[in-house]
Amino acid sequence: MSTPIRLAGFAAALALVFAGAAVAGGVADVDRSAPPEAGHGGEEMAMPAKLVRGLAVSDDGLTLELEHRRGELAFRIADRRGRTVRDFDVEHTKRMHVIVVRRDMTGFQHLHSRQARDGTWSVPLELRDAGSYRVFADFSVGGEPHTLAGDLTVDGPFRAVALPAPAATAETDGLQVSLQRGKDLRFTVTRDGRPVEVQDYLGAKGHLVALREGDLAFLHVHPDERSLRFEATFPTAGRYRLFLQFRTEGRVHTAAFTQEVGR
């Protein structure tokens, strides 16, 4: 028997969209007034609110509605009138990017879902460990980027994993990944001290997701198409978890880093 999974927080409208849904969720209220905060190197600057996304299930007239049943995640994006949004821009070779991570920032998954004719989306999703998971739908409509997020809860005994200490190197699948942080984020990949050729992945040399500890705010990161270099601005002080994905020899790898940002 599969582990019970509950949708945390949604609105009752979800049941009208997905017949037979066992649970519902709710819309988070978010204060979008952004005071001056710290950027790279601790410089004080006023940051546009859109640098931080993924704090609510509803924003800018769009709402994420989720359902998770029998190893599959189904969802749709609804507009102000409750109609299913069908037209999405292509971003990083895809019309929809789905990120799933547990609240302690373990169990990271980057999924690519299929869109049905009615505009709804679906993708296989297995959540084996108990805990609360954050689901991000990252997409663009009419040239405007959006990141909406909701929660799933897997019932069972749960023990949070402490965030690893900040480090400039990480290992994944026998590869060593190094991070150099300045005005941008630069990564290099080696195996036994020798450089490893990185193949294109999602229209660039890599894909990076940055999440803030605590609220799991989703940072919008711009990749360089020719190298593992990313333009990223940390909008507030605190600790962040960086998930770098890249491809070598036809296989996608994920390396995770903790970064401390001071004022």
What is the architecture, at CATH level 2, of domain 169-261? Sandwich (2.60)
Tell me whether the CATH fold assigned to 5-154 matches the one assigned to 169-261.
Answer: yes
The length of the chain is 263
Q: 21 vs 62, 69, 74, 123, 135, CA distance in Å? A: 21, 8, 10, 16, 17
Question: Tens place of pLDDT for every residue, the chain, 263 residues?
Answer: 444 455 444 333 333 333 333 333 333 333 333 333 333 333 333 334 467 899 999 999 999 999 998 899 999 999 999 999 999 999 999 999 999 999 999 999 999 999 999 999 999 999 999 999 999 999 999 999 999 999 999 999 999 999 999 999 999 999 999 999 988 999 999 999 999 999 999 999 999 999 999 999 998 788 888 999 999 888 899 999 999 999 999 999 999 999 999 86
Class of residue 239 by CB neighbours under 10 A (exposed 0-12, middle 13-18, buried 19+) = middle
Please say whether the beta carbons of 218 and 209 come within 8 A: yes
pLDDT at 39: 34
d(CA 79, CA 218): 21
| pTM: predicted TM-score of the whole model, two decimal places | 0.82
**The pLDDT value given to residue 50:** 66
Per-domain residue ranges of the chain: 5-154, 169-261
Give the pLDDT of residue 70.
Answer: 85
Q: How high is the pLDDT of residue 235?
A: 85
Superfamily of domain 5-154: Immunoglobulins (2.60.40.10)
Residue 5, pLDDT score:
52
Give the model's pLDDT for residue 20. Answer: 35
Tokens 């599959």 locate to 72
